[in-house]
């Protein structure tokens, strides 16, 4: 068993990562291949206006919104999400997520299988 306390680990600025656009983004890895061969788990914080570029995952992705107001989009449809909402994104679906144009920051926990790979779709 491993316990990761709130004061452990670090939140890093991920704004420059190729997958993000529109504003500042921070991330904190909670479970990675370093401590789990089954799951990747991270909390991602989007400033107002920030979001991911359209992308796919090779395995299902789960998002749990922990604070703020955000948007998710797929197949030309956008949906607003807020704290407590859960999003299931099937493997292979082109999608995006973030704070987008809500005027509010948003944080979610992203959960994917450890062996999942993502591809940015332009």
The CATH number assigned to the domain holding 100 equals 2.60.120.10
Whether this model's pTM surpasses 0.75: yes
- Mean pLDDT value across the chain: 94
Determine, yes or no, domain membership for 63.
Answer: yes
Asked if pLDDT for residue 32 goes beyond 80, the answer is no
> Cα(83)–Cα(67) distance, rounded to whole angstroms?
5
Residue 77 lies in a domain: no
Domain assignment of residue 42, given as a range:
24-68+89-114
Three-state SS at 98: strand
Residue 28 maps to a domain = yes
Residue 115 has pLDDT above 80, yes or no: yes
Residue 38 lies in a domain: yes
Structural domain total, the chain: 1
């Amino acid at each position: 068993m491993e316990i990761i306390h709130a004061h452990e680990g670090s939140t890093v600025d991920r704004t420059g990562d190729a997958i993000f656009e529109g504003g500042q983004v921070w991330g904190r890895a909670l479970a990675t291949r370093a401590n789990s061969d089954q799951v990747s788990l991270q909390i991602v914080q989007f400033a107002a206006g920030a979001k991911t570029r359209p992308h796919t995952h090779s395995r299902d992705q789960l998002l749990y919104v922990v604070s703020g107001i955000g948007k998710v989009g797929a197949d030309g449809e956008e949906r607003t999400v807020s704290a407590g909402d859960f999003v299931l994104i099937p493997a292979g679906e082109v999608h995006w997520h973030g704070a987008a144009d809500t005027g509010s920051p948003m944080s979610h926990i992203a959960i994917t299988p450890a062996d999942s790979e993502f591809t940015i779709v332009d």
